[in-house]
Amino acid sequence: MSSKKIINNTDNKKNKKIVIIGGVAAGTSAASKAKRVDPTAQITILQEEPLVSYGACGMPYVIEGLIDSFEKLIERPADDFKKQYDIDVIVNTRAEKIDPLQQKVYAISLKSHKRISLEYDSLVIATGARPFVPPIRGIRLDGVVFLRNYGDGKKIKALIAKGIDSVVIVGAGLIGLEMAESFKKNDIDSVTIVEMADHVLPNILDNDLAKIMQKHLQDKGVKLRLGEKLVEILEEGNRKVRGIKTTKGSIESDLVLVGTGVIPNSEIARDAGIELGYANAIRVDEHMRTSTSNIFAAGDCATAKSYVTGKDTYLPLGTTANKQGRVAGENAAGGNAIFRGIAGSAISKSFDLYFGKTGLSFDEALKEGFEPTEETIESITRSGYYPDSKPIWIKIISDKKSNGRVLGSQIIGGEGVKGRIDLIALALLLKANIVDLANYDSCYVPPISPVWEPVNIAASQAIKMISKSISLHR
């Protein structure tokens, strides 16, 4: 990162003023941590939405009906921040400009249109991300929806309640597969996923494991249109959607959910002269500090360093946002915390299968200059004689050049995926060797594991693919 702009040191002031732009995961984590570090600080959160703290990842399960109301996703009402923690929250207010020299944030109320300004000693930008909106005809028609915030979720639920017979989901990523299950659980007869890549979950799974997921989706009644790109949203009349046109034809539909990824809300930082980095996210160091020394950034608007490659990357997930927010908040209050980075760990489920990834795929490892090898095994999640054992598939990528260093993993299974992905993510952080994964002392009990741990098996098989110079007793 280039040298940072020097701002007058205000750390020794009493009643330090900390402004946080954005709430939800990163912003509220930053505020809470900053208050614990400096109880005398005057902390203000500016939040564009009417809610400041809610579990956005739970929205597909409310839409499905598994959780009976969106209100259950609200983790903490705005008033509670003031009552319990002496943190001010201003909702329905959009931050429009940052002035780093005057150390002020300018904002506007979305209800009264009144303009305000807030002075700060330290600033945390936690503006999140927004859905990528394809620049195509019909994208703003009624019946075209996105799923990013609380309001989006309530809108989709209301549309389903009015009666929907068919849905097209554009994008076979995490949201696409989660929502395919949600729509089918709402008894919507026709659910079709359209994906421009040649397999589902292109950023999570390789083609071979994706085929397992694809068969599972089709068995559940989900139609797949792979290798097709969205060209146009078709209009029925009166600005209402009637379907989509792709590079391979058209599909009739009452509702179109566009899940083609997100882009960081980094413009307010860019316009203030703060450096952007990978994917136009706000570039931060290990302290979550931006190119301006008393301004921090965290969450879906900020970069994160991969502890596998050592390079900046962008992977907007709630886990990362919460961890980065804590670091940013502590340091905004005068601390010296460090964020150690990410491995790119992600997990979700669709119907009866969980799927997850951490680290690099084989192709990603090649591009990063490694000499990767991969091994995939199929195993079971419980002892074979124990009821309801489920299949699990594990792929492990390791590096020949570094004596078998573990580079990544992909796992699909009926259960037990998260714990194994987490284990391998830790192995990545510690730069563990494939021999370590083959020999770690795993637990065994028939209801939740076979006697031979599947990760041990996969790693042992991977060793055979690497140089014979690697010893099982390193």
Q: What is the pLDDT of residues 250-305, one digit of tens each?
A: 999 999 999 999 999 999 999 999 999 999 999 999 999 999 999 999 999 999 99
Residue 9 is predicted with a pLDDT of 47
**Which architecture characterizes domain 17-130+263-332 according to CATH?**
3-Layer(bba) Sandwich (3.50)
How far is the C-alpha of 5 from the C-alpha of 301, rounded, in Å? Answer: 20
DSSP H stretches of helix in 38-77? 59-64
CA–CA gap between residue 211 and residue 209 (Å, rounded):
5
This model's pTM is above 0.75: yes
Give the architecture (CATH level 2) of 144-260: 3-Layer(bba) Sandwich (3.50)
Rg of the chain taking only CA atoms, in angstroms: 24
Are 355 and 371 in contact by the 8 Å Cβ rule? The answer is no
Spell out the CATH class of 352-463: alpha beta
Which is nearest to 464 in space by CA: 410, 400, 394, 402?
400
Q: What's the pLDDT tens digit per position in 180-233?
A: 999 999 999 999 999 999 999 999 999 999 999 999 999 999 999 999 999 999
In the prediction, which pLDDT does 6 show?
46
Whose CA is closest to 175, among 198, 136, 197, 204?
A: 204
Alpha carbons 166 and 253: distance in angstroms, whole number: 5
Strand 346-350 and strand 166-170: the pairing is unpaired
The DSSP code sequence of 195-237 is ESSSSSSTTT--HHHHHHHHHHHHHTTEEEEES--EEEEEEEE
Identical fold at 17-130+263-332 and 144-260? Answer: yes
Catalytic residue flag (residue 443)? no
In degrees, to the nearest 5, what angle opens at C-alpha 201 toward C-alphas 197 and 203? 85
φ, ψ (nearest 5 deg) of residue 371: -115, 80
Per-residue pLDDT of the chain (474 residues; tens, 9 = 90+): 444 554 544 445 579 999 999 999 999 999 999 999 999 999 999 999 999 999 999 999 999 999 999 999 998 889 999 999 999 999 999 999 999 999 999 999 999 999 999 999 999 999 999 999 999 999 999 999 999 999 999 999 999 999 999 999 999 999 999 999 999 999 999 999 999 999 999 999 999 999 999 999 999 999 999 999 999 999 998 899 999 999 999 999 999 999 999 999 999 999 999 999 999 999 999 999 999 999 999 999 999 999 999 999 999 999 999 999 999 999 999 999 999 999 999 999 999 999 999 999 999 999 999 999 999 999 999 999 999 999 999 999 999 988 899 999 999 999 999 999 999 999 999 999 999 999 999 999 999 999 999 999 999 999 987 765 454 444
Contact of 16 with 333, CB cutoff 8 Å: yes
Nearest CA to 39 out of 21, 14, 22 is that of 14
Q: What is the pLDDT of residue 165?
A: 95
Looking only at Cα atoms, what is the longest distance across the chain?
A: 71
Question: What distance in Å separates the CA atoms of residue 20 and residue 122, rounded to the nearest whole number?
Answer: 9
The set of residues, in sequence order, having a beta carbon less than 8 Å from that of 282 and lying 6+ positions away, is 125, 264, 266, 269, 274, 275, 276, 290, 297, 301, 302, 303
- The residue with tokens 């413009």 is 267
Q: Residue 358's closest CA among 288, 285, 403, 307?
A: 307
Distance of CA 233 to the CA centre of its chain: 27
| Active-site residue, from 7, 57, 226, 231 | 57
Alpha-carbon distance of 79 to 73, in angstroms, equals: 16
- The domain limits of the chain are 17-130+263-332, 144-260, 352-463
pLDDT at 464: 87
Map residue 393 onto helix, strand or coil.
Answer: strand
pLDDT reported for residue 11? 47
219 CA to centre of own chain: 27
Q: DSSP letter at 48?
A: S
